[in-house]
Amino acid sequence: MILPNDSADFRSKSDASNSPLALALFAYSDVDGIFIMNNFVSVTKKTAADWQELAPVIKEAVKNLVESGIEIVSQSHSLSDEEESEVVMKIKQLLDDHVKPAVEMDGGAISFKSFHDGVVTVVMKGSCSGCPSSTFTLKAGIESLLKRMVPEVRAVEAEI
């Protein structure tokens, strides 16, 4: 696995300082963004770039770096083990069990950020970031599920 139970979204080379893999991929002038999660890497190309030429080069670079055993993304410090409210734990569990797998199948990621005054804030990454249908998915799918299963939830908002 590339990043077990985590993800990293790099929208520019300057964002990628803690990832040797992302830095190596940004060396290619046609690469516009990189999203790394679990067992996949998603690359966004610049509009004028040709996938026919770029894809084999990117695949080879990813293969070589992963096989070399280098750290894909430097480990950041862990959050403290604060007690979480029962509501927050339930929200996180629902996201992990029902939402994340579907979002990951489309090359994206979603993570819990906060819960305040009935509003859940999630972070959308990868292909979900800026996707036209992500708003519909957020409101019709995720918000509907959380409101139904956790009565304290009034709304869900995305931070992209």
Tell me, yes or no, whether 42 lies in a domain: yes
Q: Read off the pLDDT of residues 96-105 as tens digits, 9 standing for 90 and up.
A: 999 888 888 8
Contact between residue 41 and residue 34 where contact means Cβ atoms under 8 Å apart: yes
- Here the CATH number for the domain that contains residue 134 is 3.30.300.130
Ramachandran bin of 70, using left for φ above 0, alpha for ψ from -120 to 50, beta for the remaining angles = beta
| Predicted pLDDT of residue 54 | 93
Same-domain status, 7 and 58? yes
Does a structural domain hold residue 22? yes
Tokens (6 digits) for 32: 């516009």
In terms of domains, do 135 and 105 share one? yes
Task: Read off the CATH number of the domain in which 29 is found.
Answer: 3.30.1370.70
For residue 76, pLDDT over 60 is answered with no
Interval 12-63: pLDDT, tens: 888 888 888 899 999 999 999 998 877 788 899 999 999 999 999 999 988 9
Task: Report the distance separating Cα 150 and Cα 132, nearest Å.
Answer: 27
Supply the pLDDT for residue 130: 65
Tell which residue, 96, 134, 25, has the closest CA to residue 34.
25
Q: pLDDT value at position 104?
A: 84
* 63 and 100, same domain (yes or no): no
**What's the number of domains the chain is made of?**
2
